[in-house]
Structure 1
Amino acid sequence: MSAGLIVLISELAKRGGWMSALLATLPLTSLLAIVWLYVDTRDTQKIAALSIDIFWLVLPSLSFFIALPWLLRMRMNFWLSLAISLAIMFACYLLMMALLKKIGVNP
């Protein structure tokens, strides 16, 4: 199913339009984790905690989607742009974790 979805998104992206972006933004991994956690534990408090943790950690991941197109539009090599964007995202994760710890949120 995952491979099929990736192929579908890639094919739609080749044709342009927003449908590929819409499909790519679906939080499928998070949804699957939440469903399996519920099936395994029936513990809605754990699901609520996981959902909040996912929320906090989605925020720094958005830096990737800001940096990558900017670097590519600056005509930087794709692989270098990808590496820099991932490094920026990782740095934002570290910053977010430090900030959350400082304000008493413990994801």
Structure 2
Amino acid sequence: MYYLTKLIVTCALVVAISEVARRHSLVAAVLASLPLVSVLAIVWLYLDTRDVEKVAGLARSIFWLVLPSLLLFVSLPILLRSGVNFVVSLSVSIGVTVAGYFLMMLVLHKLGVHL
């Protein structure tokens, strides 16, 4: 039952944001920009393990990986406004983001930061 509750709450959040976006893009953008998924993951991890070290590690890792995820939100509007097809724009933006993750992991490793 607990797993089902986690699933329903998490899915409901995504569906609610997409529904709000159809009517009010600014409100949806504010909701989507909040780290709600990260907060939910942190809460679920804590409730599952009661291990504050694991929670701290997750929060630290999220911090470092938010940075390359921003590449999606920079590249997608640039490509769309340049007239590139939506599916292609989204695919390229995801690819750029994945490359950003790999680059960030490489840089962090060289700096001695282990996630």
> Are the structure 2 counterparts of residues 19 and 39 from structure 1 closer, same or farther at C-alpha, using a change threshold of 3 Å?
same
**Is residue 28 of structure 2 the alignment partner of residue 9 of structure 1?**
no
Scaled by the length of structure 2, the TM-score of the pair is: 0.83
26, 32, 47: which one pairs with 2:55? 47
Q: What is the deviation of 1:34?
A: 1.1
Aligned length: 107
> Are the structure 2 counterparts of residues 39 and 94 from structure 1 closer, same or farther at C-alpha, using a change threshold of 3 Å?
same
37, 57, 74: which one pairs with 2:65? 57
Distance (Å, rounded) in 1 between the aligned partners of 2:25 and 2:41:
29
Q: What is the deviation of 1:31?
A: 1.6
77, 80, 101: which one pairs with 1:93? 101
RMSD between aligned alpha carbons?
A: 1.6
**Structure 2, unpaired ranges of 5+:** 1-8
44, 59, 84: which one pairs with 2:92? 84
- Secondary structure (helix, strand or coil) at the match of 2:114 reads coil
Match of 2:43 in 1: 35
Deviations 1:27-77 (A, max 9, x none): 233222211221222221221111000100111000000000000000110
Q: 59-68 vs 42-51, which deviates more? A: 42-51
Q: What is the deviation of 1:3?
A: 4.1
Scaled by the length of structure 1, the TM-score of the pair is: 0.88
> Are the structure 2 counterparts of residues 17 and 80 from structure 1 closer, same or farther at C-alpha, using a change threshold of 3 Å?
closer
Distance (Å, rounded) in 1 between the aligned partners of 2:58 and 2:97:
21
What percentage of aligned pairs have identical amino acids? 53
> Are the structure 2 counterparts of residues 6 and 37 from structure 1 closer, same or farther at C-alpha, using a change threshold of 3 Å?
closer
